[in-house]
Structure 1
């Protein structure tokens, strides 16, 4: 079974289920069943069938977020799209991570980890700026 393809199609169906009021669960389930129709009976196929069945279950209500969570989100977005020189971007990312961490310290137990998790993508951006995994310019071209 191509688990990556199944997961991609399933995730897309879940996203559409959350965002499209006229989403047809039955059609999505039928398509997912087609993807695994020729798979032999095994644990992966059983898992896929359970996932397909779960698609029909009502979605849980989205979590209610506090103003602290919203504040952390605004700081995250501003830092993520800060622009400027590499040094300016690094400074913005570092400051945002510190601010978000401080907000998490004041948050409820239920939201603390989710707020702290916002710093991970900022940390990855910061690491990428400090140690790029790819050249800034195509090989053979220099400014």
Structure 2
């Protein structure tokens, strides 16, 4: 990094000398893979030390559109509307514009990809995999619009696993189902003493069920007691605002 900045500050003078200087460091890199990466960086050194091209007027306008959508002090709904409006404006700007502006308009965030993936997974589960190939193609296109290569690689791995992740989880076995029903009985209203008693009773019953369950199911059943631990701790340090615990859907 220091060598690159030095050459850039000199207006690109001394690139070959800098490459030779960096090449002398290659033998000190023990890992072959890391050495190949370093060699690639050295080979591309001239392009990395060249000063960036000044932004075009069109690209600068696209940047201003994005900046205008950044409204951290506004309510979430207004921020979403502003971002969607900025995307539409950039798409309109990018129509027939250079690739640099077009890529900027197409870029999405990791959070946006996560939402799209979750929605696609839900649809594939709902239609029993009938649209799996279609959803994978759409997600692959979205993955290519992530800014960072590491994020694109991660997204492509998720897409490849869509068939497996979209398979509904198996129904709990009879012992686990019994334990889940018992765990829900601990979520009661009442005095602190009554709640502690309900939690203790549920914990005792869950551990008893785990003792009867097959080994592969017992670990999941015992794990339910961690929820009871948090519930008990919250009696002294409540994580909800009112006196009663949050409602638990059956």
Largest Rg, 1 or 2: 2
Structure 2: 5+ residue stretches without partners: 1-107, 244-250
Do the aligned partners of 1:16 and 1:23 also contact (CA within 8 Å) in 2? no
What is the SS of the residue equivalent to 1:84? coil
> Which of residues 91, 110, 128 is equivalent to 2:216?
110
- Where does the alignment leave 5 or more consecutive residues of structure 1 unmatched? 138-143
1:89 aligns with: 195
Q: Is the CA contact (8 Å cut-off) linking 1:105 and 1:112 kept in structure 2?
A: yes
Asked whether the equivalents of residues 129 and 163 of structure 2 are also in contact (C-alpha less than 8 Å), the reply is no
Query: What TM-score results when the alignment is normalised by the length of structure 1?
Result: 0.70
What TM-score do the two structures reach when normalised by structure 2? 0.44
State the Cα distance separating 1:37 from its structure 2 match. Answer: 3.0
Alignment partner of 2:226 out of 85, 109, 120: 120
Q: What CA distance in whole angstroms lies between the structure 2 residues aligned with 1:20 and 1:117? A: 32
How many residues are treated as equivalent by the alignment? 136
Q: Partners in 1 of 2:146 and 2:226 — Cα distance? A: 38
Task: Work out the CA distance in 2 between the residues paired with 1:113 and 1:104.
Answer: 8
Q: Is the 8 A contact 2:210 2:221 kept in 1?
A: yes
- Whole-angstrom distance in 2 between the partners of 1:92 and 1:58: 36
RMSD: 3.2
The answer for the alignment partner of 1:73 in structure 2 is: 180
Q: Which structure is higher in RCO with an 8 Å CA cutoff and minimum separation 6?
A: 1
Match for residue 129 of structure 1? 235
| CA distance in structure 2 between the partners assigned to 1:5 and 1:53 by the alignment | 18
Q: Distance in 2 between matches of 1:23 and 1:90?
A: 48
The secondary structure found in structure 1 opposite 2:185 is helix
Q: CA deviation at 1:15?
A: 4.0
